[in-house]
Amino acid sequence: MSEFLQMGGYAWYVWGSYGVTFACLALEILLLVKRETKN
């Protein structure tokens, strides 16, 4: 498991990419769902 998380020494690059991508998409969905339920 920890070997998987280390990504062969590229953890910052790999998880930095996937993390920011996921955060961006999650934020967009959150804002859209909020807009959907607001009015």
Binding site for another protein (CB under 8 A): 4, 7-10, 12-14, 16-18, 20-21, 24-25, 28-29, 32-33, 35-36, 39
User: Shortest gap between Cβ of 37 and another protein (angstroms)?
Assistant: 11
Closest to 5 (Cα-Cα) out of 26, 16, 21: 16
On the CB side of 5, how many CA atoms lie within 13 Å of its CA? 2
User: Shortest gap between Cβ of 24 and another protein (angstroms)?
Assistant: 6
One-character DSSP codes across 3-16: HHHHGGGTHHHHHH
Based on CB atoms, which residue is closest to another protein, 2 or 39?
39
